Structure 1
Amino acid sequence: MARSTGLPASLTLVGAGKMGGAMLAGWLEAGLDPATTTVIDPAPASEIAALCAERGLRLNPQTPERAEVVILAIKPQGLEAAAAGIDPCLGETSLLISILAGKTVANLRDRLPKASAIVRAMPNLPASIGRGATGAAASPEVTPAQRTMAGALLAASGHVEWLESEAMIDAVTAVSGSGPAYVFHMVEALAEAGIAAGLPPEVAARLARATVSGAGALLDASPLEAAELRRNVTSPGGTTAAALDVLMRGDGLPALMREAVAAAKRRAGELSG
Protein backbone atom coordinates (compact mmCIF):
# COMPACT_ATOMS: atom_id res chain seq x y z
CA MET A 1 0.00 0.00 0.00
CA ALA A 2 1.06 3.62 -0.54
CA ARG A 3 1.12 4.28 3.22
CA SER A 4 3.89 1.72 3.77
CA THR A 5 6.22 3.69 1.49
CA GLY A 6 5.69 7.02 3.30
CA LEU A 7 3.71 8.27 0.30
CA PRO A 8 0.22 9.78 0.58
CA ALA A 9 -3.02 7.83 0.50
CA SER A 10 -4.32 10.15 -2.22
CA LEU A 11 -2.56 12.60 -4.52
CA THR A 12 -3.61 15.06 -7.22
CA LEU A 13 -1.03 16.33 -9.70
CA VAL A 14 -1.96 19.61 -11.40
CA GLY A 15 0.18 19.94 -14.50
CA ALA A 16 1.86 16.94 -16.11
CA GLY A 17 4.42 18.54 -18.39
CA LYS A 18 8.08 17.57 -18.48
CA MET A 19 8.71 18.14 -14.77
CA GLY A 20 5.33 17.03 -13.48
CA GLY A 21 5.41 13.93 -15.67
CA ALA A 22 8.93 13.07 -14.53
CA MET A 23 7.96 13.38 -10.89
CA LEU A 24 4.83 11.29 -11.44
CA ALA A 25 6.89 8.48 -12.95
CA GLY A 26 9.17 8.56 -9.92
CA TRP A 27 6.25 8.39 -7.48
CA LEU A 28 4.69 5.43 -9.23
CA GLU A 29 8.05 3.67 -9.24
CA ALA A 30 8.35 4.37 -5.50
CA GLY A 31 4.97 2.79 -4.82
CA LEU A 32 2.32 5.50 -5.10
CA ASP A 33 -1.10 3.90 -5.50
CA PRO A 34 -2.37 4.65 -9.05
CA ALA A 35 -5.96 4.04 -7.99
CA THR A 36 -5.91 7.07 -5.68
CA THR A 37 -3.87 9.32 -7.97
CA THR A 38 -5.44 12.03 -10.13
CA VAL A 39 -3.82 14.03 -12.93
CA ILE A 40 -5.28 17.37 -13.99
CA ASP A 41 -3.91 18.75 -17.24
CA PRO A 42 -6.03 20.40 -19.94
CA ALA A 43 -3.72 19.20 -22.73
CA PRO A 44 -1.87 16.11 -21.50
CA ALA A 45 0.90 14.67 -23.66
CA SER A 46 0.11 11.37 -25.32
CA GLU A 47 2.63 9.66 -23.01
CA ILE A 48 0.81 10.93 -19.93
CA ALA A 49 -2.60 9.92 -21.30
CA ALA A 50 -1.24 6.46 -22.08
CA LEU A 51 0.34 6.14 -18.62
CA CYS A 52 -2.92 7.09 -16.93
CA ALA A 53 -4.88 4.59 -19.02
CA GLU A 54 -2.35 1.80 -18.50
CA ARG A 55 -1.88 2.26 -14.75
CA GLY A 56 -5.41 3.30 -13.86
CA LEU A 57 -4.81 6.90 -12.83
CA ARG A 58 -7.74 9.31 -13.07
CA LEU A 59 -7.16 11.92 -15.77
CA ASN A 60 -9.15 15.16 -15.74
CA PRO A 61 -12.18 13.91 -13.81
CA GLN A 62 -15.33 16.00 -14.16
CA THR A 63 -15.61 16.23 -10.38
CA PRO A 64 -12.18 16.39 -8.71
CA GLU A 65 -12.01 14.94 -5.21
CA ARG A 66 -10.11 16.23 -2.22
CA ALA A 67 -6.63 14.76 -1.91
CA GLU A 68 -4.22 14.32 0.95
CA VAL A 69 -1.52 15.94 -1.20
CA VAL A 70 -1.97 18.34 -4.12
CA ILE A 71 1.07 19.04 -6.31
CA LEU A 72 1.20 22.21 -8.43
CA ALA A 73 3.43 21.69 -11.47
CA ILE A 74 1.91 24.14 -13.92
CA LYS A 75 3.70 27.19 -15.34
CA PRO A 76 3.75 30.08 -12.83
CA GLN A 77 1.89 32.34 -15.23
CA GLY A 78 -0.99 29.83 -15.31
CA LEU A 79 -1.79 29.89 -11.59
CA GLU A 80 -4.51 32.53 -11.82
CA ALA A 81 -6.43 30.68 -14.53
CA ALA A 82 -6.01 27.27 -12.89
CA ALA A 83 -6.91 28.29 -9.33
CA ALA A 84 -10.66 27.65 -9.61
CA GLY A 85 -10.06 24.09 -10.79
CA ILE A 86 -7.53 23.40 -8.04
CA ASP A 87 -9.67 24.66 -5.15
CA PRO A 88 -12.00 21.60 -4.99
CA CYS A 89 -8.97 19.33 -4.54
CA LEU A 90 -7.98 20.99 -1.26
CA GLY A 91 -9.36 20.07 2.12
CA GLU A 92 -8.60 21.44 5.59
CA THR A 93 -5.83 18.91 6.14
CA SER A 94 -4.46 18.79 2.59
CA LEU A 95 -0.77 19.43 1.94
CA LEU A 96 -0.05 21.66 -1.04
CA ILE A 97 3.34 21.21 -2.70
CA SER A 98 4.20 23.85 -5.29
CA ILE A 99 7.09 23.76 -7.76
CA LEU A 100 6.05 27.08 -9.33
CA ALA A 101 9.08 29.35 -9.73
CA GLY A 102 8.60 32.72 -8.06
CA LYS A 103 5.20 31.98 -6.52
CA THR A 104 5.50 32.55 -2.78
CA VAL A 105 3.40 31.00 -0.03
CA ALA A 106 1.55 34.33 0.17
CA ASN A 107 0.90 34.28 -3.60
CA LEU A 108 -0.45 30.75 -3.35
CA ARG A 109 -2.76 31.59 -0.44
CA ASP A 110 -4.12 34.61 -2.29
CA ARG A 111 -5.20 32.36 -5.19
CA LEU A 112 -6.00 29.25 -3.12
CA PRO A 113 -7.63 30.34 0.16
CA LYS A 114 -8.15 26.73 1.29
CA ALA A 115 -4.41 26.08 1.26
CA SER A 116 -2.91 25.98 4.74
CA ALA A 117 0.06 23.60 4.90
CA ILE A 118 2.30 24.50 1.97
CA VAL A 119 5.70 23.24 0.81
CA ARG A 120 7.50 25.20 -1.89
CA ALA A 121 9.95 23.06 -3.83
CA MET A 122 12.22 23.55 -6.81
CA PRO A 123 13.30 20.34 -8.57
CA ASN A 124 15.29 20.18 -11.80
CA LEU A 125 15.18 18.25 -15.06
CA PRO A 126 17.43 15.31 -14.01
CA ALA A 127 14.46 14.28 -11.87
CA SER A 128 13.34 12.55 -15.08
CA ILE A 129 16.06 9.92 -14.51
CA GLY A 130 15.88 9.92 -10.72
CA ARG A 131 18.92 12.19 -10.37
CA GLY A 132 17.24 15.47 -9.58
CA ALA A 133 18.30 18.10 -7.07
CA THR A 134 15.44 19.72 -5.16
CA GLY A 135 15.37 22.52 -2.61
CA ALA A 136 12.28 22.67 -0.38
CA ALA A 137 10.87 24.97 2.30
CA ALA A 138 7.83 24.33 4.50
CA SER A 139 5.33 26.85 5.85
CA PRO A 140 4.82 26.79 9.65
CA GLU A 141 1.52 24.95 9.22
CA VAL A 142 3.21 21.85 7.77
CA THR A 143 3.20 19.06 10.35
CA PRO A 144 6.14 16.72 10.90
CA ALA A 145 4.16 13.93 9.24
CA GLN A 146 3.42 16.12 6.22
CA ARG A 147 7.06 17.14 5.95
CA THR A 148 8.06 13.47 5.98
CA MET A 149 5.51 12.74 3.29
CA ALA A 150 6.70 15.66 1.16
CA GLY A 151 10.27 14.47 1.60
CA ALA A 152 9.33 10.99 0.40
CA LEU A 153 7.65 12.41 -2.71
CA LEU A 154 10.52 14.72 -3.57
CA ALA A 155 13.20 12.11 -2.83
CA ALA A 156 11.62 9.77 -5.40
CA SER A 157 13.21 12.06 -8.01
CA GLY A 158 16.64 12.46 -6.42
CA HIS A 159 18.47 14.55 -3.82
CA VAL A 160 16.47 16.85 -1.50
CA GLU A 161 17.73 19.83 0.51
CA TRP A 162 15.39 21.27 3.14
CA LEU A 163 15.88 25.02 3.46
CA GLU A 164 15.64 27.12 6.60
CA SER A 165 13.59 29.78 4.86
CA GLU A 166 11.31 30.20 1.86
CA ALA A 167 13.46 33.24 1.00
CA MET A 168 16.15 30.84 -0.25
CA ILE A 169 13.93 29.28 -2.93
CA ASP A 170 14.71 31.86 -5.61
CA ALA A 171 18.43 31.18 -5.14
CA VAL A 172 17.79 27.43 -5.42
CA THR A 173 15.84 28.10 -8.62
CA ALA A 174 18.83 30.00 -10.01
CA VAL A 175 21.45 27.41 -8.98
CA SER A 176 19.98 23.92 -9.32
CA GLY A 177 16.60 24.57 -10.92
CA SER A 178 18.11 26.30 -13.94
CA GLY A 179 21.55 24.74 -13.48
CA PRO A 180 21.17 21.80 -15.90
CA ALA A 181 20.74 24.30 -18.75
CA TYR A 182 24.05 25.89 -17.79
CA VAL A 183 25.75 22.49 -17.98
CA PHE A 184 24.15 21.65 -21.32
CA HIS A 185 25.30 25.00 -22.68
CA MET A 186 28.81 24.27 -21.44
CA VAL A 187 28.76 21.08 -23.53
CA GLU A 188 27.69 23.15 -26.55
CA ALA A 189 30.45 25.69 -25.91
CA LEU A 190 33.10 22.99 -25.39
CA ALA A 191 32.10 21.30 -28.63
CA GLU A 192 32.23 24.60 -30.51
CA ALA A 193 35.69 25.26 -29.07
CA GLY A 194 36.77 21.80 -30.21
CA ILE A 195 35.59 22.53 -33.73
CA ALA A 196 37.49 25.81 -33.69
CA ALA A 197 40.58 23.88 -32.57
CA GLY A 198 40.33 21.59 -35.60
CA LEU A 199 38.11 18.65 -34.63
CA PRO A 200 35.31 17.42 -36.91
CA PRO A 201 31.95 18.64 -35.53
CA GLU A 202 30.62 15.15 -34.74
CA VAL A 203 33.83 14.19 -32.93
CA ALA A 204 33.87 17.42 -30.93
CA ALA A 205 30.22 16.92 -29.94
CA ARG A 206 30.77 13.34 -28.78
CA LEU A 207 33.92 14.18 -26.83
CA ALA A 208 32.33 17.20 -25.14
CA ARG A 209 29.25 15.22 -24.14
CA ALA A 210 31.24 12.24 -22.83
CA THR A 211 33.65 14.53 -20.97
CA VAL A 212 30.95 16.39 -19.08
CA SER A 213 28.85 13.32 -18.28
CA GLY A 214 31.96 11.41 -17.20
CA ALA A 215 33.18 14.26 -15.01
CA GLY A 216 29.74 14.44 -13.40
CA ALA A 217 29.75 10.71 -12.71
CA LEU A 218 33.22 10.98 -11.16
CA LEU A 219 32.10 13.91 -9.01
CA ASP A 220 29.11 11.88 -7.84
CA ALA A 221 31.20 8.80 -7.04
CA SER A 222 34.09 10.59 -5.33
CA PRO A 223 34.11 11.80 -1.70
CA LEU A 224 36.41 14.66 -2.75
CA GLU A 225 35.23 18.23 -3.17
CA ALA A 226 34.99 19.62 -6.70
CA ALA A 227 37.94 21.93 -6.05
CA GLU A 228 40.12 18.99 -5.01
CA LEU A 229 39.15 17.00 -8.09
CA ARG A 230 40.02 20.03 -10.22
CA ARG A 231 43.44 20.29 -8.57
CA ASN A 232 44.03 16.57 -9.06
CA VAL A 233 43.61 16.84 -12.84
CA THR A 234 45.67 20.02 -13.15
CA SER A 235 49.40 19.56 -13.54
CA PRO A 236 51.43 22.73 -12.84
CA GLY A 237 52.42 24.34 -16.11
CA GLY A 238 50.41 21.84 -18.15
CA THR A 239 47.61 22.14 -20.67
CA THR A 240 44.78 22.10 -18.11
CA ALA A 241 46.50 24.82 -16.10
CA ALA A 242 46.77 26.97 -19.22
CA ALA A 243 43.04 26.62 -19.88
CA LEU A 244 42.11 27.27 -16.25
CA ASP A 245 44.17 30.45 -16.28
CA VAL A 246 41.62 31.71 -18.79
CA LEU A 247 38.49 30.29 -17.14
CA MET A 248 39.41 31.44 -13.63
CA ARG A 249 40.58 34.96 -14.39
CA GLY A 250 38.66 37.95 -13.07
CA ASP A 251 36.22 38.14 -15.98
CA GLY A 252 36.12 34.36 -16.48
CA LEU A 253 33.72 31.59 -15.51
CA PRO A 254 33.19 32.49 -11.81
CA ALA A 255 32.17 36.04 -12.72
CA LEU A 256 29.93 34.88 -15.55
CA MET A 257 28.29 32.28 -13.31
CA ARG A 258 27.60 34.82 -10.57
CA GLU A 259 26.03 37.11 -13.15
CA ALA A 260 23.95 34.28 -14.62
CA VAL A 261 22.68 33.06 -11.25
CA ALA A 262 21.86 36.61 -10.19
CA ALA A 263 19.84 37.11 -13.39
CA ALA A 264 17.92 33.88 -12.83
CA LYS A 265 17.23 34.74 -9.19
CA ARG A 266 16.04 38.21 -10.20
CA ARG A 267 13.67 36.73 -12.78
CA ALA A 268 12.28 34.28 -10.21
CA GLY A 269 11.41 37.25 -8.04
CA GLU A 270 9.74 38.99 -10.97
CA LEU A 271 7.46 35.98 -11.47
CA SER A 272 5.89 36.46 -8.02
CA GLY A 273 2.66 38.31 -7.58
Structure 2
Amino acid sequence: MTGPTLGIIGGTGWLGGAIAKAVLAKALLPAGNLILSNRSGAHPLAQQGVCLVTDNQALVDRSDVIVIAVRPEQFANLTLDAMGKTVISLMAGITAQAIAAQTSASRVVRAMPNAAVEIGQSFTPWYCAGVAEPTTKSLVQRLFECVGTAAEVQQEDFIDYLCALSGTGPALPALLMTALANQAMAAGIPAEIAQLAAKNVVVDSSQLLANHDAQHMIDALVAYRGVTAAALQSMTQGHFEEQVGRALQAGAAVARKGLQG
Protein backbone atom coordinates (compact mmCIF):
# COMPACT_ATOMS: atom_id res chain seq x y z
CA MET A 1 0.00 0.00 0.00
CA THR A 2 1.46 3.36 -1.04
CA GLY A 3 0.47 6.90 -0.10
CA PRO A 4 -1.40 8.12 2.98
CA THR A 5 -4.31 6.25 4.47
CA LEU A 6 -7.53 8.11 5.17
CA GLY A 7 -10.04 7.00 7.78
CA ILE A 8 -13.55 8.43 7.99
CA ILE A 9 -15.47 7.98 11.22
CA GLY A 10 -19.08 8.22 10.11
CA GLY A 11 -17.95 7.36 6.60
CA THR A 12 -21.22 5.66 5.70
CA GLY A 13 -23.39 8.59 6.81
CA TRP A 14 -24.66 11.21 4.36
CA LEU A 15 -21.70 13.59 4.72
CA GLY A 16 -18.88 11.11 5.31
CA GLY A 17 -20.33 8.80 2.69
CA ALA A 18 -20.50 11.55 0.06
CA ILE A 19 -16.86 12.41 0.72
CA ALA A 20 -15.81 8.75 0.59
CA LYS A 21 -17.56 8.24 -2.75
CA ALA A 22 -15.98 11.40 -4.16
CA VAL A 23 -12.51 10.34 -3.01
CA LEU A 24 -12.95 7.13 -4.99
CA ALA A 25 -14.56 8.79 -8.00
CA LYS A 26 -11.79 11.40 -8.25
CA ALA A 27 -9.09 8.77 -7.54
CA LEU A 28 -7.61 10.88 -4.75
CA LEU A 29 -6.49 7.67 -3.04
CA PRO A 30 -6.57 3.97 -3.93
CA ALA A 31 -9.62 2.23 -2.49
CA GLY A 32 -7.39 0.18 -0.21
CA ASN A 33 -6.15 3.40 1.44
CA LEU A 34 -9.67 4.37 2.50
CA ILE A 35 -11.01 3.06 5.81
CA LEU A 36 -14.56 3.60 7.03
CA SER A 37 -16.18 2.73 10.33
CA ASN A 38 -19.76 1.85 11.08
CA ARG A 39 -21.54 -0.41 13.52
CA SER A 40 -22.23 -3.23 11.09
CA GLY A 41 -18.84 -3.29 9.38
CA ALA A 42 -20.66 -3.75 6.07
CA HIS A 43 -21.39 -1.33 3.24
CA PRO A 44 -21.56 -1.43 -0.59
CA LEU A 45 -18.31 0.55 -0.78
CA ALA A 46 -16.52 -2.55 0.47
CA GLN A 47 -17.17 -4.05 -2.98
CA GLN A 48 -14.85 -1.36 -4.40
CA GLY A 49 -12.01 -2.38 -2.09
CA VAL A 50 -12.67 0.05 0.76
CA CYS A 51 -11.85 -1.30 4.21
CA LEU A 52 -14.70 -1.29 6.74
CA VAL A 53 -14.24 -1.67 10.49
CA THR A 54 -16.62 -1.60 13.44
CA ASP A 55 -14.14 -0.13 15.94
CA ASN A 56 -13.19 3.55 15.69
CA GLN A 57 -9.84 3.08 17.40
CA ALA A 58 -8.97 0.35 14.90
CA LEU A 59 -9.67 2.88 12.17
CA VAL A 60 -7.43 5.46 13.86
CA ASP A 61 -4.61 2.95 14.28
CA ARG A 62 -4.65 2.16 10.55
CA SER A 63 -5.02 5.75 9.29
CA ASP A 64 -2.60 8.63 8.80
CA VAL A 65 -5.41 11.17 8.55
CA ILE A 66 -8.74 10.77 10.34
CA VAL A 67 -11.96 12.54 9.37
CA ILE A 68 -14.62 12.85 12.07
CA ALA A 69 -17.95 13.11 10.25
CA VAL A 70 -20.44 12.68 13.08
CA ARG A 71 -22.94 15.03 14.69
CA PRO A 72 -21.38 17.38 17.28
CA GLU A 73 -23.38 15.90 20.14
CA GLN A 74 -21.91 12.46 19.37
CA PHE A 75 -18.34 13.64 19.81
CA ALA A 76 -18.40 13.38 23.60
CA ASN A 77 -18.85 9.62 23.30
CA LEU A 78 -15.89 9.15 20.95
CA THR A 79 -12.85 7.75 22.72
CA LEU A 80 -9.91 8.06 20.38
CA ASP A 81 -6.13 8.08 20.72
CA ALA A 82 -4.85 9.84 17.61
CA MET A 83 -1.47 10.88 18.97
CA GLY A 84 0.91 11.91 16.19
CA LYS A 85 -1.88 12.02 13.61
CA THR A 86 -3.99 14.59 11.79
CA VAL A 87 -7.67 14.80 12.69
CA ILE A 88 -10.11 16.62 10.39
CA SER A 89 -13.33 17.63 12.10
CA LEU A 90 -16.51 18.30 10.15
CA MET A 91 -18.39 19.16 13.36
CA ALA A 92 -19.77 22.63 13.97
CA GLY A 93 -19.23 24.28 17.32
CA ILE A 94 -16.40 22.12 18.69
CA THR A 95 -13.09 23.93 18.91
CA ALA A 96 -9.78 22.60 17.67
CA GLN A 97 -8.50 22.80 21.24
CA ALA A 98 -11.32 20.58 22.51
CA ILE A 99 -10.76 18.08 19.72
CA ALA A 100 -7.01 17.96 20.38
CA ALA A 101 -7.59 17.50 24.12
CA GLN A 102 -9.97 14.57 23.58
CA THR A 103 -8.04 12.82 20.79
CA SER A 104 -4.39 13.76 21.52
CA ALA A 105 -4.06 14.58 17.81
CA SER A 106 -0.92 16.48 16.79
CA ARG A 107 -2.83 18.51 14.21
CA VAL A 108 -6.50 19.37 14.06
CA VAL A 109 -8.23 20.68 10.96
CA ARG A 110 -11.70 22.15 11.27
CA ALA A 111 -13.66 22.17 8.03
CA MET A 112 -17.22 23.07 7.12
CA PRO A 113 -18.60 21.50 3.93
CA ASN A 114 -22.30 21.76 3.14
CA ALA A 115 -25.08 19.64 1.68
CA ALA A 116 -23.89 20.34 -1.86
CA VAL A 117 -21.22 17.66 -1.34
CA GLU A 118 -23.87 15.36 -2.80
CA ILE A 119 -23.49 17.03 -6.20
CA GLY A 120 -19.81 17.98 -5.92
CA GLN A 121 -20.62 21.69 -5.48
CA SER A 122 -19.79 22.38 -1.82
CA PHE A 123 -17.58 25.26 -0.77
CA THR A 124 -15.48 24.03 2.15
CA PRO A 125 -13.46 26.48 4.25
CA TRP A 126 -10.90 24.83 6.52
CA TYR A 127 -8.56 25.88 9.32
CA CYS A 128 -5.47 24.04 10.53
CA ALA A 129 -4.50 24.25 14.20
CA GLY A 130 -0.95 23.10 14.85
CA VAL A 131 2.04 22.76 12.58
CA ALA A 132 1.30 20.77 9.44
CA GLU A 133 3.59 19.72 6.62
CA PRO A 134 2.81 21.18 3.18
CA THR A 135 1.97 17.67 2.00
CA THR A 136 -0.67 17.36 4.72
CA LYS A 137 -2.25 20.70 3.83
CA SER A 138 -2.20 19.74 0.18
CA LEU A 139 -4.04 16.52 0.99
CA VAL A 140 -6.69 18.43 2.96
CA GLN A 141 -7.21 20.88 0.09
CA ARG A 142 -7.43 18.12 -2.51
CA LEU A 143 -9.76 16.10 -0.28
CA PHE A 144 -12.34 18.87 -0.20
CA GLU A 145 -11.82 19.74 -3.84
CA CYS A 146 -13.19 16.26 -4.51
CA VAL A 147 -16.60 17.60 -3.44
CA GLY A 148 -16.38 21.14 -4.84
CA THR A 149 -14.12 24.06 -4.00
CA ALA A 150 -12.14 24.70 -0.82
CA ALA A 151 -10.01 27.37 0.81
CA GLU A 152 -7.82 27.54 3.89
CA VAL A 153 -8.65 30.32 6.38
CA GLN A 154 -6.14 31.69 8.88
CA GLN A 155 -8.42 32.18 11.90
CA GLU A 156 -10.53 29.54 13.59
CA ASP A 157 -13.28 32.08 14.27
CA PHE A 158 -13.78 32.38 10.51
CA ILE A 159 -14.96 28.76 10.46
CA ASP A 160 -17.69 29.57 12.98
CA TYR A 161 -18.88 32.52 10.89
CA LEU A 162 -18.76 30.51 7.68
CA CYS A 163 -20.86 27.79 9.33
CA ALA A 164 -23.68 30.33 9.05
CA LEU A 165 -22.78 31.41 5.51
CA SER A 166 -21.47 28.67 3.24
CA GLY A 167 -22.20 25.93 5.78
CA THR A 168 -25.92 26.50 5.32
CA GLY A 169 -25.63 25.27 1.73
CA PRO A 170 -28.95 25.58 -0.09
CA ALA A 171 -30.90 26.70 3.01
CA LEU A 172 -30.73 30.46 2.36
CA PRO A 173 -31.51 30.17 -1.38
CA ALA A 174 -34.37 27.81 -0.41
CA LEU A 175 -35.74 30.49 1.92
CA LEU A 176 -35.58 33.11 -0.84
CA MET A 177 -37.18 30.76 -3.36
CA THR A 178 -40.01 29.95 -0.94
CA ALA A 179 -40.59 33.64 -0.19
CA LEU A 180 -40.73 34.55 -3.89
CA ALA A 181 -43.18 31.75 -4.64
CA ASN A 182 -45.40 32.55 -1.64
CA GLN A 183 -45.55 36.24 -2.51
CA ALA A 184 -46.41 35.47 -6.11
CA MET A 185 -49.24 33.17 -5.00
CA ALA A 186 -50.46 35.87 -2.60
CA ALA A 187 -50.66 38.19 -5.63
CA GLY A 188 -52.93 35.67 -7.38
CA ILE A 189 -50.37 33.85 -9.55
CA PRO A 190 -51.24 30.12 -9.84
CA ALA A 191 -49.04 27.99 -7.56
CA GLU A 192 -47.40 26.02 -10.37
CA ILE A 193 -46.42 29.19 -12.27
CA ALA A 194 -45.27 30.92 -9.07
CA GLN A 195 -43.02 28.03 -8.13
CA LEU A 196 -41.55 27.76 -11.64
CA ALA A 197 -40.82 31.49 -11.71
CA ALA A 198 -39.21 31.45 -8.27
CA LYS A 199 -37.09 28.42 -9.17
CA ASN A 200 -35.92 30.13 -12.35
CA VAL A 201 -34.76 33.17 -10.38
CA VAL A 202 -32.92 31.25 -7.65
CA VAL A 203 -31.63 28.19 -9.50
CA ASP A 204 -31.48 28.97 -13.20
CA SER A 205 -30.98 32.70 -13.68
CA SER A 206 -28.43 32.83 -10.85
CA GLN A 207 -26.09 30.78 -13.03
CA LEU A 208 -25.20 34.07 -14.75
CA LEU A 209 -23.31 34.99 -11.58
CA ALA A 210 -20.75 32.30 -12.37
CA ASN A 211 -19.29 34.63 -15.01
CA HIS A 212 -20.46 38.08 -13.90
CA ASP A 213 -19.55 40.27 -10.97
CA ALA A 214 -22.58 40.49 -8.68
CA GLN A 215 -22.17 44.15 -7.71
CA HIS A 216 -21.62 45.19 -11.31
CA MET A 217 -24.83 43.38 -12.28
CA ILE A 218 -26.78 45.14 -9.53
CA ASP A 219 -25.37 48.54 -10.49
CA ALA A 220 -26.24 48.01 -14.15
CA LEU A 221 -29.82 46.98 -13.37
CA VAL A 222 -30.33 49.88 -10.97
CA ALA A 223 -28.99 52.31 -13.56
CA TYR A 224 -31.54 51.03 -16.07
CA ARG A 225 -34.30 52.37 -13.76
CA GLY A 226 -36.77 49.67 -14.73
CA VAL A 227 -38.87 47.04 -12.96
CA THR A 228 -35.84 45.25 -11.50
CA ALA A 229 -34.43 48.53 -10.22
CA ALA A 230 -37.66 49.24 -8.36
CA ALA A 231 -37.58 45.80 -6.72
CA LEU A 232 -33.94 46.17 -5.72
CA GLN A 233 -34.54 49.65 -4.33
CA SER A 234 -37.42 48.40 -2.22
CA MET A 235 -35.27 45.62 -0.76
CA THR A 236 -32.44 48.06 -0.07
CA GLN A 237 -34.76 50.48 1.69
CA GLY A 238 -36.07 47.55 3.71
CA HIS A 239 -32.54 46.99 5.05
CA PHE A 240 -32.18 43.65 3.28
CA GLU A 241 -28.40 43.52 3.71
CA GLU A 242 -28.64 44.35 7.42
CA GLN A 243 -31.16 41.53 7.86
CA VAL A 244 -28.78 39.13 6.16
CA GLY A 245 -26.01 40.34 8.46
CA ARG A 246 -28.11 39.72 11.55
CA ALA A 247 -29.01 36.24 10.30
CA LEU A 248 -25.35 35.33 9.77
CA GLN A 249 -24.34 36.70 13.15
CA ALA A 250 -27.11 34.68 14.82
CA GLY A 251 -25.90 31.50 13.17
CA ALA A 252 -22.26 32.26 13.97
CA ALA A 253 -23.18 32.85 17.62
CA VAL A 254 -24.64 29.35 17.82
CA ALA A 255 -21.52 27.91 16.20
CA ARG A 256 -19.25 29.75 18.64
CA LYS A 257 -21.36 28.70 21.59
CA GLY A 258 -21.07 25.08 20.53
CA LEU A 259 -22.44 22.51 22.90
CA GLN A 260 -22.11 24.62 26.03
CA GLY A 261 -25.68 25.85 26.16
Q: For each residue in 1:165-214, what CA deviation from the matched residue of structure 2 results, as whole angstroms up to 9, or x when unmatched? A: 11211111111101421111111111111212222112211221122112
Q: For each residue in 1:91-111, what CA deviation from the matched residue of structure 2 results, as whole angstroms up to 9, or x when unmatched? A: 52x221111111111110121
- The equivalent of 2:16 in structure 1 is 20
- Name the amino acid aligned to 2:172: Y
| CA shift in 2, pair 1:147/1:192, >3 Å | same
**Bigger shift: residues 226-235 or 187-196:** 226-235
CA RMSD of superposed structures (Å): 2.2
Identify which of 129, 138, 144 aligns with 2:134.
144
2:5, 2:201 → 1: CA distance? 43
Query: What is the CA-CA distance between 1:43 and the residue it aligns to?
Result: 7.5
Identify which of 88, 102, 106 aligns with 1:97.
88
The total of aligned residue pairs comes to 255
1:219, 1:232 → 2: CA distance? 14
1:101 alignment partner, SS class = coil
Identify which of 26, 32, 39 aligns with 1:30.
26
1:128, 1:34 → 2: CA distance? 19
1:122, 1:2 → 2: CA distance? 28
Q: Is the 8 A contact 2:115 2:169 kept in 1?
A: no
2:62 alignment partner, SS class = coil
Identify which of 118, 122, 127 aligns with 2:117.
127
1:111 aligns to 2:107 (yes or no)? no
1:248 alignment partner, SS class = helix
1:234, 1:42 → 2: CA distance? 57
Q: Is the 8 A contact 1:117 1:142 kept in 2?
A: yes
**Bigger shift: residues 52-61 or 65-74:** 52-61
1:228 aligns to 2:223 (yes or no)? no
2:63 alignment partner, SS class = coil
Identify which of 225, 228, 243 aligns with 2:231.
243
1:70 alignment partner, SS class = strand
Gaps of 5+ in 1: 4-8
- The equivalent of 1:6 in structure 2 is none
Q: For each residue in 1:34-85, what CA deviation from the matched residue of structure 2 results, as whole angstroms up to 9, or x when unmatched? A: 22212123489xxx922x233132233454342011001111111011x22x
Query: What is the CA-CA distance between 1:149 and the residue it aligns to?
Result: 0.9
- Name the amino acid aligned to 1:11: L
Q: Is the 8 A contact 1:119 1:142 kept in 2?
A: no
- The equivalent of 2:249 in structure 1 is 262
2:227, 2:130 → 1: CA distance? 53
Instruction: Give me the TM-score of the superposition, normalised by structure 1.
Output: 0.85
Gaps of 5+ in 2: none
- The equivalent of 1:55 in structure 2 is 48
Instruction: Give me the TM-score of the superposition, normalised by structure 2.
Output: 0.89
Query: What is the CA-CA distance between 1:140 and the residue it aligns to?
Result: 2.7
Query: What is the CA-CA distance between 1:272 and the residue it aligns to?
Result: 5.0
Q: Is the 8 A contact 1:132 1:158 kept in 2?
A: yes
- The equivalent of 1:10 in structure 2 is 5
